[in-house]
Amino acid sequence: MCPVTTETTQSPHDQIGGAPVFDAIANRFYDLMEQDPAYAELRAMHAPDLEPMRRSLPRFLAGWAGGPRDWFEANPGKCMMSMHRDFPIDRQTAGQWAEAMTRAIADVAPQPETIAQAMTDVLSRMARGMGR
């Protein structure tokens, strides 16, 4: 196949490395949340067991980035923004989410850098948009 065609038709999910990369980002994100006191308030909002989130977040992110849509099929009509409206998210916890995600993506350092950077920017904006 023509390499240019391949490059332009691949989803961000595939370009960045697929499921293993989303698993690595989510695991690093929840490791940071569990280990770094800078995210204590964010950690306290979550259930004691983060295992379900370590499975759910990467599946959401994968579908969101154009990969397999199993999270969306398991959660029909669920909107991330409205789902989070029920949580008491303020500017501090929204900022902690954005910062921990930015660090997680930087630590995993997936390639290409342009997609990693775009994902960091959009996720940070989305998280900050949830803070009140």
Residue whose C-alpha is closest to residue 32's, from 108, 91, 118: 108
By CB under 6 A, is residue 105 in contact with ligand HEM? no
- Part of the chain binding ligand HEM (CB under 6 A), chosen from 6-14, 22-30, 92-100, 113-121: 92-100
Examine residue 103 and tell whether it contacts ligand HEM (CB under 6 A): no
User: Which of 87, 111, 112, 117 touches ligand HEM (CB under 6 A)?
Assistant: 87
Do the beta carbons of residue 103 and residue 32 sit within 8 Å? yes
81 near ligand HEM (CB under 6 A): no
Q: Could you say which DSSP state residue 66 is in?
A: T
Beta strands in the chain (DSSP E): none
Q: Which is nearer to ligand HEM, 15 or 96 (CB)?
A: 96
Among 42, 104, 116, 119, binds ligand HEM (CB under 6 A): 42
Toward ligand HEM, which CB reaches closer, 42 or 108?
42
Q: Is 68 left (phi over 0), alpha (psi -120 to 50) or beta?
A: beta
Using a 10 angstrom Cβ sphere, with 0-12 exposed, 13-18 middle and 19 or more buried, the burial of residue 6 is exposed
Q: Give the footprint of ligand HEM on this chain (CB under 6 A).
A: 42, 45-47, 53, 56-57, 60, 80, 84, 87, 89, 93-94, 97, 123, 126-127, 130-131
